[in-house]
Structure 1
Amino acid sequence: MKFPCRLDKFISHLAELPRSKARAAIKRQDVSVNDETVTAFDFQIKAQDSVVFQGEQLAFLGKRYFMLHKPAGYVCANVDELHPTVFDLLDEPNMADFHIAGRLDIDTTGLVLITNDGDWSHRITSPKHQKLKTYLVETLEPLTSQALTQLREGVQLHNEKELTRPAIADALESYSLRLSISEGKYHQVKRMLAAVGNKVVELHREQVANIVLDENLQSGEYRALTDAEIKI
């Protein structure tokens, strides 16, 4: 939310009401700003103003940042008619303007970052910033040294004109590797493994930039980021 902000928008956002109901409350004189009743919908609210709605003070909580241990079966979307979303796992106030900084597929597990800070998420997700994203990958076929070399040098994805950027690819076992990439193309990890003649059967993201999935978070749990984690 940017300030100054219209009063009806402020009430709608923080009280999680349709704009029409926020305006009805303002018209009923249910809203005061700095102890003065205000009835103008377009009254400009500043960040430091004290706004009381039906006897309760509304506070803009500022920029917030969370990490979530995403389970399989959840989609990275604010709303979805067919599947549960990662936002169903959060119990936080005023989530209307939150978004996901780097989505995961429905069957992919691991680290998801959720914030209302657009500039911060852009630094995370924009390819020009080259923030590494690290995945644990389980494959259908055994990994070959040739495939690992190809991943490290860049591979040709289907319907792409240029090779992927060189990845960090370390074999863990015959059917698993740790893969770090600095891009975020659609289904990139799965397409990269397909390009070297293999198939992903399980995919788990464990790190984005300097942010490592907290080992104490069980699947479906989340926590706020620390100040150090926010400073990407």
Structure 2
Amino acid sequence: MRLDRFLSESTDLSRSDARKVLKSGEITVNGEVITKGAYILNEDDVVMWDEEPLALVGLRYLMLNKPAGYECSLKNSLYPSVMTLLDIEKRERLHTVGRLDVDTTGLILITDDGHWTHRIISPKQECDKVYVATLAEPLPDHAERLFQEGVLLNGDDKPTLPAVLERIDERTARLTIQEGRYHQVKRMFASLGNLVLTLHRERIGPVALDADLALGESRYLTPAEVQALVSDEFYP
């Protein structure tokens, strides 16, 4: 890796600012002052800036308990971005794995590993997403069968994949889907003439939202959770 790129990825410096710092003689590699950004680093080189060691920020994997009123976007727009809830270095490199609506709460995955994200959201993965919805009206008796058969949503040209509906009470249900169509859960219940009042995501694949995370809180995934989300053991 070029030294100027290393500096921009391990600090808050832009690539052009990194070159200025290099020219000032503040950067050493293995104790030797290096002033050229094109200098190629070896894996075991020790880079220091004003005698402080620098290290690359590795790939990161987090879960966040998303509150209502936040967008799954990189920047603030009409609503604040979920990224503003994170106190983490190089936050601008992160992205959400899929999205939740502004008024939907619960589990959102965040990473800077694009390949990992693709493995999870790819339709071929058939990754379960589990939601709990509170509804304005009681569910009809045939709701489970309709969702299992697939629902043709308004504006779509093909029905949804089979989904599993579990009644918690007459106005609360747990729904497991394997797609991520626009407003899909709300539109599925709307096809029954019902309105979703609140929606909360509990689980993605084998990873459930940590019960110890309050709304707005996050934590890093464990290595086992990171692997489980893309493991063939869970997606045969």
With normalisation by structure 2, the TM-score equals: 0.90
* Identity, % of aligned positions: 45
Is 1:155 the equivalent of 2:151?
A: yes
Task: Give the equivalent residue in structure 2 for 1:10.
Answer: 6
Does residue 65 of the first structure (1) align with residue 61 of the second (2)?
yes
Is the aligned partner of 1:145 residue 2:141? yes
Aligned pairs, how many? Answer: 228
Alignment of 1:42-191 (within 5 A): 42-191=38-187
Cα drift, residue 154 of structure 1: 0.7
What letter corresponds to residue 78 of structure 1 in structure 2? L
Cα–Cα, structure 1 residues 124 and 43, in superposed 2: closer, same or farther, change >3 Å?
Answer: same
Summarize deviations over 1:175-216 as a string: whole Å, max 9, x none.
111001111112111121122221211110000001100111
Which one-letter code corresponds to 1:194 in the other structure? A
Is there any run of 5+ residues in structure 1 with no aligned partner, and where?
none
Which aligned runs of 4 or more in structure 1 are off by greater than 4 angstroms?
Answer: none
5+ long unaligned stretches in structure 2: 229-236
Query: In 2, Cα distance between the equivalents of 1:227 and 1:74?
Result: 27
The offset of 1:146, in angstroms, is 2.0
- Name the structure 2 match of 1:229: 225
Q: What is the root-mean-square deviation of aligned Cα atoms in Å?
A: 1.6
- The alpha-carbon distance between structure 1 residues 43 and 192, as it changes in their structure 2 partners (threshold 3 A), is farther
Counterpart residue identity of residue 124, structure 2: K
Q: For residues 192 and 45 of structure 1, what CA distance do their matches in structure 2 show?
A: 53
Task: Tell me how far 1:137 sits from its aligned partner.
Answer: 0.7
TM-score, with normalisation over the residues of structure 1? 0.91
Letter in 2 for 1:109: T
* Alpha-carbon offset, residue 47 of structure 1: 4.3
What amino acid is aligned across from residue 135 of structure 1 in structure 2?
Y
Deviations 1:120-153 (A, max 9, x none): 2112111110010000011122111223321121
1:29 aligned residue: 25
Q: 2-side partners of 1:77 and 1:48: how far apart?
A: 36
Asked if structure 2 preserves the Cα contact closer than 8 Å seen for 1:70 and 1:111, the reply is: yes
- Name the CA distance, whole Å, in 2 between partners of 1:95 and 1:43: 27
Whole-angstrom CA distance in 2 between matches of 1:87 and 1:147: 36
Say whether residues 1:214 and 2:210 are aligned partners.
Answer: yes
**How far 1:46 moved relative to its partner?**
4.4
Cα shift at 1:32: 2.0
**1:207 counterpart SS class:** strand
Shift of the alpha carbon at 1:174? 1.1
The aligned amino acid for 1:29 is G
1:81 deviates by: 3.6
Query: Does the CA contact (< 8 Å) of 1:150 and 1:196 recur in 2?
Result: no
Amino acid corresponding to residue 189 of structure 2 in structure 1: L
